[in-house]
Amino acid sequence: MSDASSDADPQRDLSDPDQAFQAVSEASLRLMAGAVSKPRLAQLKIAAQQEEAEYPWQRITQAIVSEPVEGQGLVKQGLVAQRDWILRGGRVARGPSVASRAKGFFARLTAQLIFGVIFTVVVVLLLLLLKYRFGWNIYWLLDTTLELIGAPPR
**Into how many domains does the chain fold?**
2
Domain with 36, as residue range(s), is 3-88
SS3 content of the chain, % helix, strand, coil (to 5): 70, 0, 30
Nearest 10 degrees: Cα torsion 22, 28, 34, 40: 80
Question: CA 128, CA 120: separation in Å to the nearest integer?
Answer: 12
* Whether residue 136 sits in one domain with residue 106: yes
Residue 4: exposed, middle, or buried by beta-carbon count in 10 A (0-12, 13-18, 19+)? Answer: exposed
pLDDT digits (tens, 9 = 90+) for 140-151: 888 888 889 988
* Whether residue 109 sits in one domain with residue 66: no
> Which residue from 56, 61, 57, 53 is spatially nearest to 26, judged by alpha carbons?
61
> Which residue from 129, 116, 139, 14 is spatially nearest to 64, judged by alpha carbons?
14
* Whether residue 25 sits in one domain with residue 70: yes
Judge whether residue 105 has pLDDT over 90. yes
Judge whether residue 106 has pLDDT over 90. yes
Does residue 107 lie within any of the structural domains? yes
pLDDT higher at 102 or 28: 102
* Whether residue 81 sits in one domain with residue 7: yes
The mean per-residue pLDDT over the stretch 59-79 comes to 85
Last residue of a domain, one of 88, 116, 138: 88
Whole-number pLDDT of residue 7: 43
* Whether residue 117 sits in one domain with residue 56: no
Handedness of CA 87, 92, 98, 103 (dihedral sign): negative
The mean per-residue pLDDT over the stretch 32-59 comes to 84
pLDDT digits (tens, 9 = 90+) for 6-25: 444 456 677 788 888 888 88
* Whether residue 10 sits in one domain with residue 72: yes
Does residue 49 lie within any of the structural domains? yes
Does residue 154 lie within any of the structural domains? no
